A and B are shown apart, each in its own frame.
Chain A
Amino acid sequence: MRWFIPYGNPTYFIWLALAIIPLMIGLLYGRRFRGYQTIISLFFLILTFGGPNWKTGIALIGYFIYQIILVAGYSHYRQKKGSANQGWIFVMTVILAIVPLVIVKVTPAIEGGRQSIIGFLGISYITFKVVQTIMETRDGIIKEFHPILFGQFLLFFPTISSGPIDRYRRFETDYKKVPERAEYLDLIQTGVRYVFQGFVYKFIVAYYFGTVLMPGIERHALMAHGFSWNIIAYMYVYSMDLFFDFAGYSLFAVGISYLMGIKTPVNFNQPFKSKNIKDFWNRWHMTLSFWFRDYIFMRLVFFFMKHKVFKSRVTTANVCYVINMLIMGFWHGETWFYITYGLFHGCALVINDTWLRFKKKHQDVIPHNKLTELFAIFLTFNVVCFSFLIFSGFLNTLFFGPNKF
């Protein structure tokens, strides 16, 4: 028995193909073998969380039971006839839901890099799903709680380690039904294309940037002890590696979901073509940024407006941008570079909005044509790459790392 990071090597894909063929045949003939799907889900979870990683497997099981009980409890409270729908109970539930994630994220910062024992691969992504379910239960959009369905949703193995982050109601609809044959054939076609596009992204392009180019550039930049052009080279190479690696991974996750007849939302939409930072966040790690938009940004805006905290709407939006991105920064991890990254993007969004308002006001004098669009893309790309340089933590190694000899 060997143990695998999801989509990490060819053997994993061979297992995957063998396991989902029966499921696909079933779907082609109008059946979803839910029992079989559960069994193969367990098998792939064991491949990732078993063997030498068994401790994280235990952490996953504990976490899973905890969240099921939590959501069940809240649903029970909320779905009672004439539920009081108290704000503090909702807040408490959300806090309880994110406590494990907070512990996992804070532990390395205060314990000198040691990982928390309750952590496991993909804990943040499951937490997002849980919080989203709690919020929609509060809103009354989710009217029923099915522990089994909810469990399938949380542990859906193609997306377990790093998303994309699906939504409960969307997942539920797909999982309950069987797609029409014509529709399913389209899904297979797209799914297969995604998986192969993923191969190109992750195993060829990201490999080239991350494994072939990066180490040499990194070494040269470190040897220079201070600023050198290698840092700029590192910035672009790292950005490319980050995108192709993550986008490749996401394509696998979405492609495999499609083959299983589940339309997991896509995560990337040509982000380097973005014309501004807002546009970028609508194309980059989309399920995460939409999650932040829907469950943090919008709710903050709503909260501030309701309580009339700020007079102007512009200020409200700006404050919310910064808080939103800061939280995203903290979510990445408790290091100065992740938090700076969040702050950087928060400010970038504020500047972007200010500029767009200014531009709208002075439409008659500010030109807008193909050339300015091209410039906008170029500028956005470089701003984004610079933010990734912060994000990479390389500056940390460079400035504060131990002296290499």
Chain B
Amino acid sequence: MSLKKRLFMIFGPILTAAVLMLVVFLSPLWSRLSYVSPKVQRNAASSLSPLVLKGQLIKQRALENNYVPFFGSSEWSRFDPFHPAVLAAKYHRSYRPFLLGARGSQSLTNFFVMQSVSPQLKNKKAVVFVSPQWFTPMGEDPNAFTFYYSPLQTTTWLKQETGSKMDRYAAYRLLQMPSGDSDKIIAAALARIAAGLKPTKFQRNYINVRNRILANEDQIYSRYRIPLNNVKTIGKNMKKLPRHYHYRQLDELASQIGKQQTSSNDFEINNRFWNRRLKRHVKDLKNFQVGQSYVKSPEYGDFELLLNQFADDHTNVLFIIPPVNQKWQEYTGLSAAMLKQFDQKIKYQLRSQGFNHIDDLSKDGNVPYFMSDTIHPGWRGWLKMDQAINPFLTKKVSRPHYQIDKRFYSKRWQQYDY
């Protein structure tokens, strides 16, 4: 056998495989393969899986159906019979929540999640759960951001960016995170955008190729490995609800269940959370939140990114502002005045730009069985929220008129002592 032939026998298969791989992952044909079964959509909507959050295809298909995006963070994982996903399924509402967010996913993560479904948000409705705890002095935790970082969403956004204030600010923030620096070419493009320049032609081509590969990957694999235990949890919780929806009756049931499940402590915190997470440490936690503030935070700038994107998409949004468990707040020394200040500041940022659908629950921290644990709503809290969510999503709501004010991106606003 000649040398050439022998070498070809050895390396031929590798080259063929490489070419085949390029063809597969660069092929535009995959985008045709966009069917997602209703079952996968349903599983994904409540999975709270980072894979779903970071992906694109499933969310797009689901939001084209009757799913409404519920942006937020850890609160969605507190399933009980009054959780929005349970109520919507039990009472055959015309909408189903697509829960987006998990522990540590804050405004910036949600902004990039929105990039993957921007066409599906156009002139539609959405719900945003605004946690006061996002607005810490340091803002988004880089490690948490890295955990939810999706190069697919980043490149999708980069393909559409126009150099607006929003794009420049997003680029600037992304560069402050380790994820923004993980790909050198993209980092260079981000630096140009943040500085108000257009990415170079090479950078644009690179972004397009990267996006194509990542989108194909998403198209091929994202339907698989979706955890479905939350679907089962929702099913179990549905069984605990009466057949017909009567607010009074449900509210009583919520109190009843809440009472049963908070028997272990005086803070009205659910037993599971109490026994697992707090019981052993409760002594050390006395007054541990003294001096904590949610009033000055870079998060206000990140939050403006969300608002800006909603305004661009003309999305009608309901914002929910939750309270803090008052007993816990008092025990840990978290300032009530500061919480009020936060509430006013965030509402000003919303109202002054035309975001008028706000379900402000911040004063309900002392309502019995309103909170499931220290900061997450449960039983009666969920039910109260439903009084705003249900009409907002099922009835006709007037077209929003948003006027984005760039000053909300400024450091001055972020650090403003409202």
Determine if B281 and A405 form an interchain contact, defined as CB atoms under 8 angstroms apart: yes
Name the one of A185, A196, A403, A405 contacting B6, with C-beta atoms under 8 angstroms.
A185
Residue of A nearest to B279 (CB): A405
Report the Cα distance A181→B3, complex, angstroms. 9
> Which chain B residues border A181 with CB–CB below 8 Å?
3
A390 within 8 A of B: no
* Docked CA distance A364–B23 (Å): 64
Asked whether, in the complex, the Cβ of A192 is within 8 Å of the Cβ of B276, the reply is: no
User: Are A192 and B14 within 8 A (Cβ)?
Assistant: yes
Q: Which B residues are in CB contact (< 8 Å) with A403?
A: 280
Given contacts A28-B3, A181-B3, A405-B281, contact A188 B10 (CB under 8 A): yes
B91 within 8 A of A: no
Minimum CB distance partner of B278 in chain A: A405
> Quick check: is A189 within 8 A (CB to CB) of the other chain?
yes
Interface pair A405/B276, CB less than 8 Å apart: yes
Which residues in window 183-208 of A have CB below 8 A to B? 185, 188-189, 192, 196
Cβ of B11 under 8 Å from chain A: yes
CB contacts under 8 Å to A, within B1-57, are: 3, 6-7, 9-11, 14
Report how far A181 CA is from B277 CA in the complex, Å. Answer: 67
Q: How near does chain A come to B241, taking the closest CB pair, in angstroms?
A: 29
Minimum CB–CB distance for A348 against chain B, Å: 39
> Is the Cβ of A405 less than 8 Å from the Cβ of B277?
yes
Give complex CA distance A405, B9 in Å: 57
State A185–B8 Cα separation when bound (angstroms).
11
CB distance B3 to A192 under 8 Å?
Answer: no
Residues of A within 8 A of B6 (CB): 185
Interface secondary structure of A, over-half rule:
helix
Q: Tell me the bound Cα distance from A405 to B10 in angstroms.
A: 54
- Interface majority SS (helix, strand, loop, mixed), chain B: helix
Roughly how many angstroms separate A189 CA and B9 CA in the complex, as a whole number? 9
Q: Let me know if B3 and A189 touch, CB within 8 A.
A: no
Closest B residue to A223 using CB positions? B276
With A and B bound together, what is the CA distance between A358 and B280 in angstroms? 56
Bound form: Cα–Cα A261–B280 in Å: 61
Provide the bound-state CA to CA distance between A28 and B6, in Å: 12
The residue on B at minimum CB distance from A17 is B14
* Residue of B with least CB distance to A185: B6
Nearest-CB residue, chain B, relative to A193: B10
For B3, what are the chain A residues with a Cβ–Cβ distance below 8 Å?
28, 181, 185
Task: Give chain A residues whose Cβ lies under 8 Å from the Cβ of B14.
Answer: 192, 196
In the complex the two chains form, what is the Cα distance from A10 to B318 in whole Å?
45
CB distance from B266 to the nearest CB of A (A): 19
Distance to closest chain B CB from A402 (angstroms): 12
Question: Are A192 and B280 within 8 A (Cβ)?
Answer: no
**Shortest Cβ distance from residue A21 to the other chain B in the assembled complex, whole angstroms:** 11
Specify which chain A residues have a CB less than 8 angstroms from the CB of B277 in the assembled complex.
405
Q: Which of A366-405 contact B (CB under 8 A)?
A: 403, 405
Contact (Cβ within 8 A) A189 B10: yes
Residue of A nearest to B11 (CB): A192
Interface pair B11/A405, CB less than 8 Å apart: no
A192 touches B10 (CB 8 A): yes
Residues of A within 8 A of B10 (CB): 185, 188-189, 192
How far, in angstroms, from A181 to B281 measured CA to CA in the complex? 71
Residues on the B chain within 8 Å of A188, using CB: 7, 10
Using an 8 Å CB-CB cutoff, how does the interface string of B62-100 with A read, 1 for contact, 0 for none?
000000000000000000000000000000000000000
Closest to A196 in B: B14
Within 8 A of A (CB), among B248-305: 276-277, 280-281
Minimum distance in angstroms from A368 CB to a CB of chain B: 43
* Residue from A28, A192, A403, A405 having most chain B Cβ neighbours under 10 A: A405
B-side interface residues toward A, CB under 8 Å?
A: 3, 6-7, 9-11, 14, 276-277, 280-281
8 more CB-based (< 8 A) A-B contacts, given A196-B14, A405-B280: A185-B3, A185-B7, A185-B10, A188-B7, A189-B10, A192-B10, A403-B280, A405-B277
Q: Which 8 A-B pairs have the closest CB atoms?
A: A189-B10, A185-B6, A405-B277, A192-B10, A188-B10, A405-B280, A405-B276, A405-B281
